[in-house]
A and B are shown apart, each in its own frame.
Chain A
Amino acid sequence: METNDNPDKIAPSSPNVSDAPSNKVLTAREFKHIGRRELLKLTPLVVLGSFAVPRFRDSLLETGVAFSDWASSKYFSRSRLAPTFKDSEVVQFEKFPYNGYDVLDPEVDLDNWTLTVEGLVKTPGEIKLSTIQALPKVLQNTRHVCVEGWDAIGNFGGARVSDFLKLVGADLTARFVEVECEDDYYESLDMASILQPQSLLCYEMYGKPLDRGHGAPLRLQMPTKLGYKQAKYLNTFRVTNVLKSDRKGYWEDQGYSWHGGL
C-alpha cells in the first residue's frame, strides 16, 4: 500500500507529503532505531538537570546572577536619567515606608557626627555635615523601588555624590565606593552609578532634615538603584579598586544581586 502516494485520501488543506528522499520504507525495527537516535540527540538537556544537584546549583545560580549583573553594568548609562515626578505625584511623608534591616534608630549622636572618608582620595579624614550641605543642593522627586516589589515616590534633597567626590579629591577612575553605617549595615557600589547625576548624599526629605527612621543624618539616595543599595546612617565612605569578596554588602553577602541597578 502506498499511503503517501494516494492524494485522494488526503484532505485538500493537508500538508504536502514530500517524496524522496525521505519517503523511505523501513521495518518496524529500523524505525525503533531512528527513534532511539533522535532521543539521544536530546542529551544536551541533561545540563539543565545539574540545577537539581545541590553541589552544582549554588555555583550555577551565582554565575547566572553574576552574568545578570555584568549585563546590567554594561547596559547602564550615566546619561540615562531615572524618571522624575511632579510634586503632586509624591506620596505623603507618612506613606513613605520606613525600612531597615535591623533597628530604625541606631541612636546616632547627630551633634558630633562626621563622615569618615578613606581610600583613593586626596584629603582623607572627617567631614562635617555642614561641609556636605555647602555643596550645590539638589532636590528631586524620584521613585524608591524596593527589591520586595513595593515602591514610593518621594522628595529628596542632598548633594550629588559626584560633587562630594570632587571635593575630597577622589580618584574618579576608581572602580568602587564602599560605605559603612552606624547600624553596622554596609554596601559597595559601582563608580558609574555613583557618578550618575541623580545619585545623592541625601540629608533632607520633604524639605526637612532626614529623620532617624530614614537614615539621619546622611544616606545614599540613588533612583538608579534598588533600596537595599541606598545605605542609611552613613559613617564611612571609602573609594577603592578592590572589594572584599565576603563583604560586598549586607544583603549581597546573603545572595542579593550586587549591581542592584534599576
Chain B
Amino acid sequence: MVAKSSSAFEIKTLSILDEQRTGVAAYEHPWVVRMAHWANAVSLFVMVTTGLRIYKAFPSFGPKIPQSNFINIPKWATLGGWLGGALQWHFTFAWIFVLTGLTYVVYQIASRNYRQVLFTLRDVPGVWPMVRHYFFFGKKPEVTEPYNPLQKLAYTSSIFFGVAATLTGLVLYKPAQLRWLAYPMGGYHLVRIWHFLAMCGFLSFIPGHLIMVALHGWNNFYSMLVGWKKDPEYLNHSSEG
C-alpha cells in the first residue's frame, strides 16, 4: 500500500477470519499508551480528590482575615480523611502522575504515535461538524481516522492541563525555591487559582470522556485494555464475508 501523505501515520492491522464473516482489527493503543492511560486514570482520581481535601482546609483564594469561602467541598468528594492524610496521598501520587505523563509524552513523540491524537490546525475545520453531531443532532461526519477532530482537541488539551497542573503544583509546593517559576505565572496567589483551574479542566474533560466511552460500547472500551480494536469505522470495511 502506498503512503498517501507524509502526515498520515501507520497503524498495524490484521484480518480476522471466521466461518460467518471476515473482520479487521487495528492496533490503536500500544502497550505504553494503555499502561499510561490506566495509571493516569488512577493517579488523576487521587490527585483531584486529595486536592479537593487540601483545598477544603482553606477554601478561599483571598486573605485569611477576613476569610470569605469560595466553595464548600463536600467530604464525600475527597480522599485522605484530613489535611495531613490528603497531603500524603497528593505528594505520593504527584510523582506517579508526573512519571506517567512524561513516559506517555516521550513515548508518543519517539514512536511518532502522537500524530494519531495531536490536535493541529488541520483539525480545526472538523471540530464544529463533530460538535453539531454530538450536541445538535447534526449529520455524523465521515470517520477517516481513529480520533475525530473533537477527540483530538479534548485529548490534546488534557495534556495541556497536565502540564499546567504540574508546573503550578511545583510552584505551590516550593514558592521560595521556585520563585523564578512563580514570577511568570503572576505570583503565588494567582498560581493557586491556575492550579485549581487546571483541575477544573480535567473535571470538564472526564464526564464527557466517560459518557462517550459508555456510548461507544464494549469494543471501544476493550481496545484500551488490549490495544486492538475490531472493525474500526475508519477502515471502512464491509462485514459481509
> Which residues of A are at the interface with B, using a C-beta cutoff of 8 A?
1-5, 7, 9-19, 22-28, 31, 34-36, 38-39, 41-42, 44-45, 48, 51, 60-65, 67-68, 72, 75-77, 80-83, 91, 94-97, 143, 145-152, 223-224, 251, 254-257, 261-262
Q: How far is the CA of A255 from the CA of B89 in the complex (A)?
A: 11
A141: min CB distance to chain B, Å: 14
- Please determine whether B15 and A3 come into contact, CB atoms closer than 8 angstroms: yes
Say whether A14 contacts B8, CB under 8 Å: yes
B84→A3 contact, CB < 8 A = no
Given A27-B18, A262-B174, 9 other A-B contacts at CB below 8 A? A7-B1, A10-B236, A15-B9, A18-B12, A25-B15, A48-B42, A68-B95, A97-B65, A150-B60
Q: Which residues of B pack against A, CB within 8 Å?
A: 1-5, 8-18, 22-27, 31, 34-35, 38-39, 42-43, 46, 54-55, 57-58, 60, 63-65, 67, 83-85, 87-89, 91-96, 116, 142, 144-146, 174-177, 179, 188-189, 192, 222, 225-228, 230, 234-238, 241
* Residue in B11, B83, B144 whose CB lies within 8 Å of A16: B11
Offer 24 A-B interface pairs, CB within 8 angstroms, sorted by A.
Answer: A2-B15, A5-B1, A10-B234, A12-B4, A13-B145, A14-B235, A16-B11, A22-B14, A22-B27, A26-B14, A31-B230, A41-B31, A60-B92, A65-B91, A77-B177, A83-B179, A95-B65, A149-B60, A150-B67, A151-B188, A151-B189, A224-B176, A254-B84, A262-B177
CB <8 Å contact, B13 and A11 = no
- Pick the contact of A38 from B12, B55, B88, B228 — CB < 8 Å? B228
Chain B interface mostly: mixed
Known: A7-B2, A255-B88. A18 touches B13 (CB 8 A): yes
Please state if B15 and A24 are interface contacts (CB–CB under 8 Å): yes
Cβ-defined contact, B17 with A39, below 8 A:
no
Chain B residue at minimum C-beta to C-beta distance from A21:
B12
Given the known inter-chain contacts A5-B1, A18-B10, A147-B83, please indicate yes or no for A61 contacting B88, CB distance below 8 A.
Answer: yes
Q: Evaluate contact between B91 and A15: CB separation under 8 angstroms.
A: no
With both chains docked as a complex, state the minimum distance between the C-beta of B183 and any C-beta of chain A, in angstroms. Answer: 9
Shortest A91–chain B CB gap in Å is: 7
Known: A1-B238, A42-B35. A16 touches B9 (CB 8 A): yes
Q: How far is the CA of A17 from the CA of B15 in the complex (A)?
A: 12
Contact: A45 with B38, CB < 8 Å? yes
CB atoms of B226 and A25 under 8 A apart: no
A254 — which chain B residues lie within 8 A by C-beta? 84
| CB proximity of A170 to chain B, nearest CB, Å | 24
**Least distance between A96 CB and chain B CB atoms (Å):** 8
A80 near B64 (CB under 8 angstroms)?
A: no
Partner of B17, one of A25, A145, A147, A255: A25
Q: Are A22 and B12 in contact (CB under 8 A)?
A: yes
A39 to B31: give the CA distance in the assembly, Å.
Answer: 9
